[in-house]
A and B are shown apart, each in its own frame.
Chain A
Amino acid sequence: MKRLLFLVALIGFVTPAPVGAGENGSKILQNRCAKCHDLTGPAPQTIRKLWERDAPDLFYAGNKFRREWLVEWLQKPVRVRPAGVNYLRTINSAPVRDAEEKDKNYDVLYGAVLRPLKHLSLKPAEAEATADALMDLKAHSDLVAGMQLDRNKKVDLDRGEVLFDKVYGCLSCHQIEPGFGGYTGSELYTAGRRLQPAFMLSYIKRPKNWDPKIWMPNGNVKPDDLQKIVNYLILLSKEDFNAAN
């Protein structure tokens, strides 16, 4: 009898790991993510609130991310926003004098610009569960509802870059390959793998709808160009950026 009890206790003790990982997706979110990430919304409505934000909002994650990317990223997190979620905090308040250009100082980012990210990394089972839980967070479904990517509006990488850099000036803040582009926006060389096309369309069309005080302006992108830019980003994400290194 005693042995049987012991066995039951032992099974009870050993098994929770896989079962727990299965049921725990939302619990992981609540216990480990909610401290920094906003899981309930709404997005910051004033600038002061905006600068209090520690991590990207996740309450519309289900309408934003692609699940495969989430699973991969949660196991091996890398920096998405070169200047951090809150770029004001990362910028050095004492500009460093540039030796070559005597009259110009640049605001610089603290330390090395592309520091590795400090973020929890999850085990595969946990990552799967958490990704599932994140995909259930579907706020703003109305904003992605009418958005349909037209894959016929293709561009090659060169023309896409012209749109991205010269026509709409996105490159000032967003990087299209590691180290090439601005710092205050999120990098976009993995955007095609990271984000759902409908989200990209909707966000570029009017960032304010998703995040009322975000520092990304509405670029007044024409509908045709909007499709092209998103197709370009998807094409771009298929490039191998580590090939050169």
Chain B
Amino acid sequence: MRPINLLFAVAALMFIAAPVANAEEAFLNYKSYCMQCHGMHGKGDGVNVPAMNVRPRDHSDNKYMMTRTNTEIFKAIKFGGPAVNKSVKMPAWADTFTDEEITQMVGHIRTLCCEREIIRGVNFK
């Protein structure tokens, strides 16, 4: 194979491979950190919920989630509930996740609720 072709192949591979790895990371992050309260399937029914005086958000609730912008969700994750006028029970994860990880997390949260009908083709920013 000529070097230039090899270069193209590598570039193509990077395009294909990178998003897959990222998706897995967001899923793993969700599973490790968010699941405590938001539940295994993002229904706001995590294991800590019976002890909490504020219900964690149900991420599979289409009707509510479509009223939130990506920026708002990003802020809620990065700076915690109070940053978007919500409860302090949602902590700030700025120290745990990088900005990129949070962006991916927003994408992952979108897949939990309403990806099919609402999000595709609409710019929510």
Q: Which residues of A contact B (CB under 8 A)?
A: 47-48, 50-51, 83, 87-88, 91, 93, 95, 104-109, 165-169, 171-173, 175, 180-184, 206, 208, 213, 215, 217-220
Contacts and interface: CB of A to CB of B under 8 A. Distances in A.
* Interface size band for B: 20 to 34
Contact of B47 (A48, A165, A175, A184): A184
A215 B47 contact: no
Given A171-B52, A184-B36, 13 more contacts: A48-B28, A87-B36, A93-B40, A95-B39, A95-B45, A104-B45, A106-B49, A109-B47, A165-B53, A181-B51, A208-B96, A215-B36, A219-B92
Interface in B73-98: 87-96
Nearest to B29: A47
Contact of A91 (B33, B47, B89, B90): B47
Which among A105, A169, A172, A220 has the highest number of chain B CB atoms within 10 Å?
A172
Contact of B96 (A95, A107, A218): A218
Given A93-B40, A172-B52, A217 B45 contact: no
23 contacts: A47-B29, A47-B32, A87-B36, A88-B32, A91-B35, A91-B40, A93-B40, A95-B45, A105-B45, A106-B45, A106-B46, A106-B50, A107-B46, A166-B88, A167-B88, A172-B52, A182-B51, A182-B52, A183-B51, A206-B95, A217-B91, A217-B93, A218-B92
